[in-house]
């Protein structure tokens, strides 16, 4: 039972890191094209912040 929980935790961690990587890359591309202050870049940055906060909270609870 504990092994399955550990596997789910690791899978969620890997999935979250993947989402962070994709969002970061997306934000960089948008910033390069639109500029750093464009609303779509700001929105993307906020979404990245949310993912990073989830990851940090996840790390604290391990």
Q: What is the pLDDT of residue 14?
A: 94
Q: What is the pLDDT of residue 6?
A: 84
Q: Along the chain (62 residues), what's the average pLDDT of each consecutive run of 10 residues?
A: 81 95 98 98 98 90 68
Q: What is the pLDDT of residue 1?
A: 52
3-state helix, strand, coil in the chain (%, to 5): 90, 0, 10
* 54 Cβ contact list (under 8 Å, min separation 6): 16
Q: What span, in angstroms and rounded, lies between the C-alpha atoms of 54 and 12?
A: 11
Rounded to a whole number of angstroms, the CA Rg of the chain reads 15
């Amino acid at each position: 039972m504990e092994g399955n929980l550990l596997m789910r935790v690791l899978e969620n961690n890997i999935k979250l890191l993947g989402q962070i990587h994709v969002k970061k890359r997306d934000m960089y591309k948008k910033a390069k094209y639109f500029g750093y202050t464009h609303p779509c870049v700001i929105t993307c940055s906020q979404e990245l912040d949310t993912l990073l906060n989830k990851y940090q909270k996840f790390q604290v609870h391990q």
